[in-house]
Structure 1
Amino acid sequence: MNLLKLIEAFKKQSVLVIGDTMVDKFIWGKVGRISPEAPVPVVEITKETETLGGAGNVANNITSLGAKAYVVSAIGEDNTGNSLIKLLSEKNINSDYVVYDAHRPTIIKTRIIAASQQVVRVDREIKGSFAHSTELKIIKNIEQLLPKVNGVIISDYGKGVVSPKVLTKVIALAKKYKIPVTVDPKIENFKKYKKVTTITPNTKEAIEGMSARNISTDADIENLGRKILKTLNSESVLITRSEKGMTLIDRNGRVTNIPTRAKEVYDVTGAGDTVISTMTLALAAKADLISAAEVANFAAGIVVGKIGTATVTPEELNKTITEFYK
Structure 2
Amino acid sequence: MASLKITPDHFFKVRTLVVGDVMLDRYWFGRVDRISPEAPVPVLAVQDEQARAGGAANVAHNLLALGAQSHLLSVVGDDEAGREIKRIIDAYGARTTLKIDASIRTIVKLRMVAQNQQLLRADFEEKPSEEVLAQCLEDYTDAVNDADVVILSDYGKGGLTHVATMIAIARERGKAVIVDPKGSDYSRYRGASLITPNMKEFEAVAGVASSEADFIERAHTLRNELDLDRLLVTRSEQGMSLFGRDGSHIHSPATALEVYDVSGAGDTVISLMALATVSDFNDEETLTLANTVAGIVVGKLGTAVAEIDEVISKLETSE
Partner residue, 1:264: 258
Distance 1:162 1:286 in 2: 30
Partner residue, 1:208: 204
Partner residue, 1:182: 178
Q: TM-score, normalised by structure 1?
A: 0.91
- Say whether residues 1:245 and 2:239 are aligned partners: yes
What secondary structure sits across from 2:59 in the alignment? helix
More helix by share: 1
Q: 1:43 to 1:305 in 2, by over 3 A?
A: closer
Q: 1:168 aligns with which of 164, 170, 181?
A: 164
Gap runs ≥5 in structure 2 = none
Number of residue equivalences: 318
Partner residue, 2:75: 74
- Alignment RMSD: 1.9
Gap runs ≥5 in structure 1 = none
Partner residue, 2:17: 16
Distance 1:185 1:6 in 2: 30
* Aligned-pair identity (%): 37
Distance 2:129 2:13 in 1: 36
Give the AA of the match of 2:62. N
What secondary structure sits across from 1:10 in the alignment? coil
Task: Answer yes or no: is the 8 Å Cα contact 1:31–1:41 preserved in 2.
Answer: yes
Q: 1:282 to 1:142 in 2, by over 3 A?
A: same
- Say whether residues 1:138 and 2:136 are aligned partners: yes
Partner residue, 1:299: 293
Superposed CA offset, 1:189-245 (max 9, x none): 4332101011111111101023x13x2432122112112112211111011112221
Give the AA of the match of 2:39. A
Distance 1:147 1:10 in 2: 19
Q: CA deviation at 1:19?
A: 0.5
Task: Answer yes or no: is the 8 Å Cα contact 2:25–2:303 preserved in 1.
Answer: no
Moved over 6 A (4+): none
Q: 1:294 to 1:177 in 2, by over 3 A?
A: farther
Task: Answer yes or no: is the 8 Å Cα contact 2:6–2:312 preserved in 1.
Answer: no
Partner residue, 1:153: 151
- Say whether residues 1:230 and 2:224 are aligned partners: yes
Superposed CA offset, 1:1-45 (max 9, x none): 984247743111121111100001011222233333222222222
